[in-house]
Structure 1
Amino acid sequence: MTYPLSGWLMTQLGPVVALGILAALAGAGALFALSLWPREDPEVVAHSYDNLPLDHPHLKGGRRHAHPFVVDDEHPRWASHL
């Protein structure tokens, strides 16, 4: 979206003004992302699996467990903070 905008701004307003506007847009985007990011984002997330057998190596004997969380084959989406 900003790539064509940058070309248009450069031709209409010149490089200095265009870069200033694009820098302001980048700053606004960064502030917006910071406002959306959760305040508490723990590295270790407690979660459970009802569909895995108790002897599955990932569970280590209990359905509810906690470990540093990554998205992988065992965790196809981010765990909710339960």
Structure 2
Amino acid sequence: MNKILLAAVATLALSGAAFAETAVAAPEFATVDTDANGTVSLVEAQAVMPELTAEAFTAVDLDANGELSVEEFDALVAARAAM
């Protein structure tokens, strides 16, 4: 799982078009998970990362359930910070 997660992070880090190039503070999972269901939806993620595309979201949604777990969200934030 960690190798897959790292591959997703690397993929996002290399796709500079997916994120704006300005540095932005990393959002906290609990803050982004506005409905407190333990996952982050695309809509919730885009509320704090408006530049986030559906394709980039899907790339880190490793279990393809349409929601990001804490680990998947952390990978997204790490890839965004690497930009």
**TM-score, normalization by structure 2:** 0.20
Higher RCO (C-alpha 8 Å, min separation 6): 2
Which structure: greater helix fraction?
A: 2
TM-score (norm 1): 0.20
Normalized per residue, the structure richer in strand is 1
